[in-house]
Amino acid sequence: MLSSISVYIKKKLLPSIFPYYRMALVTKPPFVATLLLGALLLQSLQITEAQIGACYGRNGNNLPSEQDVINLFKSRGISRMRLYDPDQKALQALRGSNIGLILDVPRNNLNSIGSDASAASRWVQSNVVPYASNVNFRYIAVGNEIQPSDSEARSVLPAMQNILRALQSANLAGKIKVSTVIDSGFIANSFPPSSGVFGNSNYMNPIINFLRNNGSPLLVNIYPYFSFTGTPGINLNYALFTAPGTVVRDPNNGLQYQNLFDALVDAVYAALARAGAPQMAIVVSESGWPSAGGNAATTGNAGTYYTNLISHVKQGTPRKRGQAIETYLFAMFDENLKAAGVEQHFGIFTPNKQPKYQLNFS
């Protein structure tokens, strides 16, 4: 830890404050301290910033209008959104909002877009180009949790390539990154975290190469809730960020884990390193806790999880200390048309726009 701090100070912090130091040399001594302190504070803010978003799922028959949803995002200071399909009313409502957007290419489009470059061009021309001047597209997510055994799996990488070419033709590739979404089940040997490896390298390695070559992050859905409920012996406090001390010590590198979220994310980082992409960023494209419908699914637990997640992701993980993680809470609303049980109770707001928890998104 001390050595990494030393490298950071030498390579990033000192060069960044040098202009302020030169200015201070020709000013009065009290102003020297003010300038240097200000520069240090600015730099510290940059390394701890973590943009928090919310997933706008629309699988309900009682949800607010698209414009009301965008207004709610803005009034609550939620600066990022994930939209699972290119709904035209939602895209229209996003105009001028400056909300950073992950836009999904839905599963049912993958085979056509993967096999036909013109289909990719039509998709981009219909769903991105008309809005690009005043909608803040950040990522196009080509497929969500497509498993290697799924019939669409063979189309994921070709669809990513075709979407990128379509963005390039529209002069938008420099602004919008192309990626795909995996879940933590893609990681084999995830305990301890440093042993993480992609379970199907034939499927994942070409995708990782594409992301690395194009400077894109990997989008990952991280759910300590499902790990907790599906794995005997995991302590609830470890899953909720409330453990009082170290729960897991990684014997391979000595890193200490006080919460399950960090362990899951670091297993993905370890898998990326083994795939030849140790510096690739991760965006947590979904993470949440249900308030009803299953084991440990209570309003109290869900509120604790979301509150602690928001405050924690700015810190990074033990493996990537200080590297804040762009994170999207799942989900904006309870969705009554999803499968009965916990799936209907992940909302951070009720459909009538009332907050279920007191969350500070900024």
Task: With beta carbons less than 8 A apart as the criterion, state whether 289 and 334 touch.
Answer: no
Whether 278 contacts 219, CB under 8 Å:
no
Residue 48 has pLDDT above 70, yes or no: no
- Tens of pLDDT, residues 63-110: 999 999 999 999 999 999 999 999 999 999 999 999 999 999 999 999
Return the C-alpha torsion angle 348, 350, 356, 361, nearest 10: 40
Task: Determine the Cα–Cα distance for residues 259 and 270; give it in Å rounded to an integer.
Answer: 17
Q: How far apart are CA 169 and CA 117, in angstroms?
A: 12
Q: CATH number for the 50-344 domain, one of 3.30.1490.20, 3.20.20.80, 1.20.1740.10, 3.30.420.40? A: 3.20.20.80
User: Is 70 exceeded by the pLDDT of residue 213?
Assistant: yes
What is the percent of the chain where pLDDT is above 90? 85
Residue 202 has pLDDT above 50, yes or no: yes
pTM of this structure: 0.87
- Asked if 207 and 156 touch (Cβ cutoff 8 Å), the reply is yes
Q: How confident is the model at residue 16 (pLDDT cuts 50, 70, 90)?
A: very low
Average pLDDT over residues 243-254: 98
Q: For tokens 């390039």, what's the residue? A: 168
What is the C-alpha to C-alpha distance for residues 82 and 90, in angstroms, rounded to an integer? 11
Euclidean distance between CA atoms 282 and 211, whole angstroms: 11
* Residue-wise pLDDT tens digits, 276-304: 999 999 999 999 999 999 999 999 999 99
Torsion angle in degrees (nearest 10) through CA of 360, 183, 137, 98? 0
Would you say residue 19 has pLDDT above 70?
no
Residue 10 or 229, more confident: 229
Residues tagged active-site: 145, 286
pLDDT at 191 over 50: yes
Task: Evaluate whether 335 touches 347 at the Cβ level (below 8 Å).
Answer: yes
The token pair that represents 340 in the structure block: 């009965």
Q: Where are the domains of the chain?
A: 1-48, 50-344
Question: What phi, psi does 285 have (nearest 5°)?
Answer: -85, -10
pLDDT score for 49: 58
Which residue bears the tokens 């490896």? Answer: 197
CB-neighbour burial class of residue 59 (10 A; exposed 0-12, middle 13-18, buried 19+) = middle
Per-residue pLDDT at 50? 75
Q: 37: buried, middle or exposed (CB in 10 Å: 19+, 13-18, 0-12)?
A: exposed
Averaged pLDDT of the chain: 89
pLDDT of residue 30: 44
Which among 185, 120, 108 is positioned nearest to 152, based on CA atoms? 108
Residues 218-246: tens digit of each pLDDT: 999 999 999 999 999 999 999 999 999 99
Q: What is the mean pLDDT of residues 196-221?
A: 97
Band the pLDDT of 121: cuts 50, 70, 90.
very high
State the residue for tokens 């060069």: 15
**pLDDT at residue 69 in the model:** 98
What pLDDT is stored for residue 362 in this prediction?
A: 78
